[in-house]
Amino acid sequence: MKKDTFSYSNSIMTPAQMVPCTPELLNAALDSQQVFNACQEIALHLAEVKEGTLTREAFETLKSQIKTENLPVVCFHASFTDGYRHNQSAVPSGLSIYDVDHLDYDPRAYYMNKVAGRETELGISLAHVSPSGEGIRLVFEIPAGMSLSEAQQWMADQLGDETYDGCVKDLARCSFVVCRDYVLYYDEEELFKEREVSVAVTNGTNDSAISAPILPAETDYEDSFNGISYQQIVRAMEELLGGVPAQGARNNFIFAMACHLRYVCNDDPQWISKVLPRYGEEEQKFQSTVRSACNRPQTKSVPELVNRVLEMARKQQQVDEAIEANGVHAPQPPVMPRKLTKFMKYITKNVPDHLKPAVAMGVFPSLGAHCRGVKFRYNDNALVEPTFMNALVAEMSSGKSCVNEPINAIMADIKESDAKNRKLMQEYKEQYDTCPSDEQKPERPKGLAVQWVKSDMTPAAFVQLMADAGGRFLYSRLDEIGLLNQLKTNGRGNNVTEILRLAFDCGEYGQERVGTKSVSECVEVRWNWNASTTPGKCRRFFSDAMLDGTLSRISFCTIYSDDDRMPVYGPYDDVFQKQVQQFVSSLNDAKGLIVCKKANKLAADMIEENRQYATLADDDTYRELSYRATLSAFKRGMVLYILNGQKWCKEIEDFVRWSYHYDMWCKMWIFGEKMRRAMDLDKAVMVPGRRNLMEFLQDVFTLDDLNTVRRAQGMKGDGSALLRKWVQRGYCTFNPATQQYTKSPQFLAKHQKQAA
């Protein structure tokens, strides 16, 4: 098969955002100032190690943090069909990487002596110094018929690296991007060319097993820490410590892994041995290394690297769960159920599969417009009505007009009634204008309801139309969401979101005027509408409405497809319209309070599920959006319940659940990050002047202690540079053997005197 491409992400902490790598993306990363600064910072710390002013362990921790927080990643091995970096969806690219780590001399010398001039012979398209500054990475084409491990062993043989044993990273393993100065060889055309991928490359039996933790079934130990599986923790720790080690680095790597796993395995060497892979090491040596790690003095506070590992593992586990559930954080919208109610199956039958979700979500505003006096009792005992506002957000020329014909069929009876009433209204206006005196002018007719209205209305027209409707819903369909601003709700425009919020809640709206010819009415706003737009325009239109509740009241849908062929529609003829009107008649006949206990039971289950998810994901944006999204899903279920002869069925339940997750997926896709930033800014408080950080530390402390204090004071980043300043200025002294800092007598004397 042919490869798509290899993959790229802006951060290793976002495994759900792998995108096809392009020359533009890779070159921009290589030339990024942030990447350059990160590589320079690592190089400075490496110089400190060589000078003896920084321990190797401290360097590894700092290096890992800098890479994780600043460097993009590339997965040269594969692309991913669902955008998630995991082996299940990996499509091999035909490329492999060969790493040479922990060289005790200049990596460039290794390249010049063993590789330079042989790039074409070895199939190398990219070579660079690793971010640590102590190794080389080669990206090369896998020889035909070889697996990843065989290809790396082949490269080792070609370069004469006898110590290399063929242990490789799996398809989902990625590499940190480096700055342009670290690049030794780069053939862009060769790197990005299409290549045939042989079947052997996809055979990952040995490749993926290398990092699988050994967890015997008979173990009595827990298989998770605070809900995070140890397998995820080990995988995350491998990533942050530089990946699975080669033969010469096994022992040090196992020692470092064991030292950090102590904090989540109760400092128990037997427990660590159950969790930690052997990485090809002999069992006796492996056990000895783990015991040595557990005999090492342990800090009281959890190291920062362990905290980052747990956070990364937690996010990856959520990603895996989201993939399994096809939920809100999946790279594609949830798939609509195959089994639908009779109405939903019929109304979507004339559009291709990829357009069915947009039609299924888009018809509810017009369906709700047929309900007069219909109410549902929600789980909080509030009476709600079938208010629906739907925005179809998709790229240009993607087929957004697919909802028009189904809506036309649903609204046919209202459109016919509107035509008669508009004619009578026009006759009244003409008669009114021709009467010479006010005494002879006719009174405005009662009950001339016009429901399908344009968005270009004055406040007076809006209120008058609402009053004429007599409890019926007004309905509008807009080709562009910006047309909503034509409804100038205060005479100046640009605050239509106030009306949108009132429309969802059937809130009161009106105006008082002293003129005898002016409209003075107070009405309950019942206005359903459909609109369409592109993602960028949608974000701009609602840019000032992130936190006022507008977005949570609107249902969103999209069009997702990789097929760029012109869609072919079925016939929307008189037979189709007649059948749709037979369904719609049940909505016209419905009156008063309609109760369905099974719908309320489903809503209760969804409310609890969504509450738990928001808590576990620690996502305030999801939490805020979920409340009304659940209510909207409940109302969709009740409308389908009426259309189904007031009989509940599994098809309705499945659709309600899907419509909620689909709506939430679209909202998080369009507004998630923007809302998070707005919420963070909204919650920001004035920070008082900072106090002396040493006041919060014991007389003897560590870097981890200082970082804990910094986080408690709302400060970001690592305190290493601050500690160097403190030592330089004599505030404290440093013991390299214990990695501890001690407040100087001069500082203590001055501090105690000031405190007194």
Report the chain's mean pLDDT, rounded to a whole number: 82
Given the structure tokens 């969401």, which residue do they identify?
481
pLDDT recorded at residue 68? 82
Task: Give the model confidence (pLDDT) of 613-651 as tens digits.
Answer: 776 556 778 888 899 999 999 999 999 999 999 999 999
Return the pLDDT at 163.
61
Residue 322 has pLDDT above 60, yes or no: no
Report the share of the chain in percent with pLDDT over 90.
31
**Lowest-confidence range among 52-56, 384-388, 449-453?**
52-56
Q: What is the mean pLDDT of residues 327-333?
A: 65
**Greatest Cα-to-Cα distance within the chain, rounded to the nearest angstrom:** 110
In SS3 terms, 321-349 reads as HHHHHCCCCCCCCCCCCCCCCHHHHHHCC
> What tens digit of pLDDT does each residue of 644-655 get?
999 999 999 999
What was the pLDDT predicted at 195? 82
Provide the β-strand partners of residue 389.
529
The pLDDT assigned to 706 comes to 86
Contact 450, 421 (CB under 8 A): yes
Distance (Å, whole) CA 151 – CA 142: 6
pLDDT higher for 134 or 198? 134
CA dist 110 → 113, 119, 184, 186, 511 (Å)? 5, 14, 11, 17, 81
pLDDT at 511: 60
Of 728 and 530, more confident = 530
The 3-state DSSP class for residue 475 equals strand
* Dihedral in degrees, nearest 10, Cα atoms 704, 705, 711, 716: -50
Give SS3 for 72. Answer: coil
pLDDT in tens, 552-577: 999 999 998 777 778 889 999 999 99
Q: What's the pLDDT band for 167 if we cut at 50, 70, 90?
A: very low
Average pLDDT estimate for 108-114: 89
pLDDT band, residue 376 (cuts 50/70/90): very high
Residues 6+ apart with CB under 8 A from 82: 89, 323, 330, 331, 332
pLDDT of residue 3: 47
Closest CA to 65 of 181, 176, 166: 176
Least confident range of 436-445, 478-487, 557-566, 716-725: 436-445
pLDDT at 362: 95
DSSP 143: P
Q: Are 299 and 704 in contact (CB under 8 A)?
A: yes
How much is the pLDDT for 284?
82
What mean pLDDT comes out for the span 535-541?
88
Taking the CB of residue 70, how many other CB atoms lie within 10 A of it? 20
C-alpha dihedral (618, 20, 211, 135), degrees to nearest 10: -110
- Domain range annotation of the chain: 7-209, 224-324, 340-411+452-560+584-681, 693-755
Give the pLDDT mean for 212-235: 67
Task: Assign domain 340-411+452-560+584-681 to a CATH class.
Answer: alpha beta
- Give the model's pLDDT for residue 202: 40
Return the pLDDT at 520.
59
**Can you tell me the distance from the alpha carbon of 745 to that of 743, in angstroms, rounded to the nearest whole number?**
7
Is the pLDDT at 735 greater than 50? The verdict is yes
Confidence band, pLDDT 50/70/90 cuts, at residue 166: very low
pLDDT tier, 687 (very low <50, low <70, confident <90, very high otherwise)? very low
The confidence band for 214, taking pLDDT boundaries of 50, 70 and 90, is very low
Predicted confidence (pLDDT) at residue 461 exceeds the cutoff of 90:
no
Question: Residue by residue, what is the 3-state secondary structure of 211-262?
Answer: CCCCCCCCCCCCCEECCEEHHHHHHHHHHHCCCCCCHHHHHHHHHHHHHHHC
Helices of type H across 23-160: 23-30, 33-51, 56-70, 107-114, 119-122, 148-159
Quick check: 383 pLDDT over 70?
Answer: yes
Query: What residue type is 236 in one-letter code?
Result: A
Of residues 172 and 249, the one with the higher pLDDT is 172
Is the predicted pLDDT of residue 165 greater than 50, yes or no?
Answer: no
> In 3-state terms, what secondary structure has residue 393?
strand
Name which residue leads in pLDDT, 360 or 113.
Answer: 360
Tokens (6 digits) for 13: 């902490």
Cβ proximity of 341 and 643 under 8 Å: yes
Q: What average pLDDT does range 595-612 have in this prediction? A: 89
The pLDDT score that the predictor gives to residue 41 is 92
pLDDT of amino acid 440 = 66
User: pTM for the whole thing?
Assistant: 0.53
pLDDT at 355 over 60: yes
Q: pLDDT at residue 410 above 90?
A: yes
- pLDDT value at residue 589: 94
* Residue 431 vs residue 555, higher pLDDT: 555
CB 107 within 8 A of CB 31: no
CA distances from 264 to 32, 210, 214, 287, 380 (A): 37, 22, 16, 18, 42
For residue range 255-310, what is the model confidence (pLDDT) as tens digits?
888 888 988 888 888 888 888 888 877 888 888 888 888 877 777 778 888 888 88
